[in-house]
Amino acid sequence: MEKYIKVVVGGVYIYTSLEEIADYLRELDYVLSEGTAENADLDCVFKALNYLKKYKSRNPDVVIIVRSVERILKKDLEEGKIDLWGR
């Protein structure tokens, strides 16, 4: 039997069987709680977003999380807090 890991992201329970994905989701939750991705591992954040979009997009609560994180990323980019190309 497959063991599932429960991760709380923005108050929503998300279950995954992959520890690596659970770590990515925790990083995504960090971005949500801080309201910025300035000190986050952006690779993890984007992997978590891709996972949620691909496998959990039918859940309206997850859609809200994805949109919220995307707004945070956009704001941080515009303000120069993050750089996607590592310059």
Q: What is the pTM of this model?
A: 0.91
b/e code 54-77 from CB counts within 10 Å (16+ = b): eebeeeeebeebbeebeebbeebe
pLDDT tens digits, 34-62:
999 999 999 999 999 999 999 888 999 99
Per-residue model confidence (pLDDT) at position 86: 60
